[in-house]
Amino acid sequence: IIQLYVPLNWFGTFYRQIQKNFVDMENMLELMKEDQEVIDAPSAPDLVCSRGGIDFSNVTFGYSKEKIILKNVSFNIGPGKIVALVGPSGAGKSTIMRLLFRFYDVNGGSILIDGQNIKTVTQSSLRKSIGVVPQDTVLFNQTIKYNIKYGRITADEHDVITAARSADIHEKILTFPQQYETQVGERGLRLSGGEKQRVAIARTILKAPQIVLLDEATSALDTTTERNIQSALARVCSNKTTLIIAHRLSTIIHADEILVMNDGQIVERGKHEQLLEENGLYAEMWNQQLKNLEGEKLRDEKAEEE
Ligand code: ATP
């Protein structure tokens, strides 16, 4: 019993880590079916995801019974639209993504995709329809080709290269010692944060899901990398229903709707211009970011003078 218990316990810890960080969860979960907290209903049908419309309706949720985290959260994302989640740390943004991926079931309300309650369909079909670009992608100790192909194991060489080009990482890979056959990860070539994120983008492009969840990196990247990543992200999201957690508000000026969260509730919603006019929390966050940017600029100019 003890021998059995140890690996299961290890899986448990690992599973929670995945839940927390959205790390390569799509397939990792397959390895750990034993420890899932969420179970498919007997003879649950597959999700039929044709357009990718998302509906959150009065969603209430807590990780434990004692503490409610999300309170009556309602919003919808039309097929192919982009909705952004912003708000202070701990507001509940990642929790919304975890619920959509069904790491947990809601306590109240419902989440529908194309009219189907995600609670009633198989998890594998749900997760097949959703691509995730996490903040921090963990690479396998494998070739870079394998790491990209992981998005769709049956993809051929040509598809892998097309996805890498689209994610703006193909040229970089050609500079690696063995190009696409180069070993990466902990025991191989270490990639930078921006490069890892582009691997995640390439994977998602290969996977071609209807829905994309994007967790923007908090760490600042240099301006050129930032610009490259933004255009790669735009490509991975085009014609997909997209939910993005944004830390830099400049990246979501064109979102179809911005949801401002605070303490588990949506406290403001609208387009960028509208929210600025409202002069509330969003406007405050925006002005703060402008100030920080100006500060950085001044610092750079001063450094140049010296
Ligand atoms: P950040 O911008 O810092 O990532 P967030 O808006 O994404 O924050 P969440 O990660 O959704 O916030 O967290 C919302 C609340 O839920 C926080 O109070 C957090 O402490 C709590 N929480 C998150 N994960 C768990 C968990 N696994 N168990 C218990 N509480 C959790």
ipTM of the complex: 0.97
92 ligand 1 Cβ < 6 A? yes
93 ligand 1 Cβ < 6 A? yes
Q: Check residue 5 and give its pLDDT.
A: 43
- For residue 220, pLDDT over 50 is answered with yes
- For residue 33, pLDDT over 80 is answered with no
CA dihedral 241, 23, 152, 198 (to 10 degrees): 70
Least confident of 29-33, 91-95, 98-102: 29-33
Q: What is the pLDDT of residues 136-161, one digit of tens each?
A: 788 888 999 999 998 898 999 999 99
Whole-number Å distance between alpha carbons of 289 and 165: 32
Average pLDDT value over all residues in the chain: 85
- For residue 12, pLDDT over 90 is answered with no
Average pLDDT rounded to a whole number, residues 262-276: 96
What's the whole-model pTM score?
A: 0.84
94 ligand 1 Cβ < 6 A? yes
Q: Check residue 247 and give its pLDDT.
A: 84
Residue nearest to atom 29 of ligand 1 (CA): 63
The token duo for 66 is 């004692």
